[in-house]
């Protein structure tokens, strides 16, 4: 598992803390679930899929070269 720093303003922090408290969960677990939800939502959108396919196509040669290392 990787670690990272997340900066929140006071209001965001307090809202997150309260939500975690009410749900009897760790703040980290609430954040992790929110990120997962965001990623699933983004990945399901047509414009994201089109951008991903374009990036894969545009970088196919570089990806192939990196695979050889």
Q: pLDDT for 28-52, tens place per residue?
A: 999 999 999 999 998 888 888 888 8
Is residue 1 domain-resident?
A: no
Is residue 59 domain-resident?
A: yes
Is residue 5 domain-resident?
A: no
For residue 58, give its domain range.
10-67
Total domains in the chain come to 1
Q: Which two tokens stand for residue 26?
A: 């760790």
Question: pTM to 2 decimals?
Answer: 0.67
CA-CA distance, 6 to 18, in Å (whole number)?
A: 17
Is residue 3 domain-resident?
A: no
Average pLDDT over all residues of the chain: 92
């Amino acid at each position: 598992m990787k670690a990272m720093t997340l900066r929140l303003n006071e209001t965001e922090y307090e809202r997150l803390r309260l939500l975690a408290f009410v749900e009897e969960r760790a703040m980290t677990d609430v954040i992790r679930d929110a990120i997962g939800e965001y990623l699933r939502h983004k990945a399901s959108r047509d414009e994201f899929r089109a951008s991903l396919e374009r990036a894969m196509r545009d970088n196919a040669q570089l990806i192939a070269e990196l695979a050889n290392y």
